[in-house]
Amino acid sequence: MHVPFSASEFLGLFRAYNHAVWPVQALLLALGLGASVAAFRQLPGTPRIVPLCLALLWAWTGAGYHLAFFRAINPLATLFGILCLIQAGLFLGYAFHPGELAFQATRSLPGLLGGLLLTYAFVVYPLLSRAFGHPYPASPTFGTPCPTTIATIGLLLWAQPRAPRRLLLLPIAWAAVGTLAAFQFGMFEDLGLTVAGLIAIACLLQARPSAAGRVPA
């Protein structure tokens, strides 16, 4: 697959983005951590908090990263941005209808995998970025697509009942895009995204077709 930009342009974009939006990255990380803690601790309002945080993260990924920065080097970023905003709208719908989806870190294989993916997105990903020669600011920070997608899949593994198919489709698609970056640009930290995408595909094959089965808010 032809990519219309070079590795140096790609990393330069992250450098420009991180300089321009600081300290928004810290706020985005707080959103992701807040959603994870709420789901893990089962805090009051978790069925609203988690999808609301995810909606804000995907809205930023769409508008704040793709449309404001990435489309300067990739014409497809406009499409990516629109799709991310649609994903944000889907999460927002669940935030306003919290009885349709809950989040809980259960003692099960999905619960364990979800926790591992969240740890990877928040802790391991930035460490590997540095180890692979992409130190800050020339690195994807939380709120950009790849770490955000890994964290999203991690939280969706904690969804009760199983996450609806429509919430998994875009994360799976971006996992495929991120895998290309891993091999073409040496962004090997994104191989975690590949693993997350494969896990999400397994979830997709088992996911409920709709949000018909309501759970308590």
DSSP string across 87-137: HHHHHHHHHH-GGG-EE---SSHHHHHHHHHHHIIIIIHHHHHHHTT--TT
Query: Predicted confidence band at 207 (pLDDT cuts at 50, 70, 90)?
Result: low
Query: Residue 187 — φ and ψ, nearest 5°?
Result: -85, 70
Look at residue 137 in the predicted model and tell me its pLDDT.
96
- Token pair of 198 as six digits: 């494969």
Domain locations in the chain as residue ranges: 7-206
Least reliable range by pLDDT among 2-6, 123-127, 167-171 = 2-6
Dump strand ranges (E) for the chain.
102-103, 159-160
| pLDDT tens digits for range 71-128 | 999 999 999 999 999 999 999 999 998 788 899 999 999 999 999 999 999 999 999 9
Average pLDDT over residues 150-161: 95
Look at residue 215 in the predicted model and tell me its pLDDT.
45
Look at residue 95 in the predicted model and tell me its pLDDT.
94
Give the integer Cα–Cα distance in Å for 116 and 94. 24
Look at residue 161 in the predicted model and tell me its pLDDT.
82
Give the integer Cα–Cα distance in Å for 169 and 173. 6
**CB atoms inside a 10 Å sphere around CB 96:** 11
Which residues are paired to 203 by β-bridges?
none
Percent of the residues in the chain that have a pLDDT greater than 90, as a whole number: 80
Look at residue 180 in the predicted model and tell me its pLDDT.
86
Burial class (CB in 10 A: 0-12, 13-18, 19+), 167: buried
Average pLDDT over residues 169-193: 92
Q: Is the peptide bond before 145 cis (omega within 30 degrees of 0)?
A: no
Contact between 22 and 65 under an 8 Å Cβ cutoff? The reply is no
Look at residue 1 in the predicted model and tell me its pLDDT.
57
Look at residue 203 in the predicted model and tell me its pLDDT.
87
**CB atoms inside a 10 Å sphere around CB 213:** 11
Taking 80 as the threshold, does the pLDDT of residue 208 lie above it? Answer: no
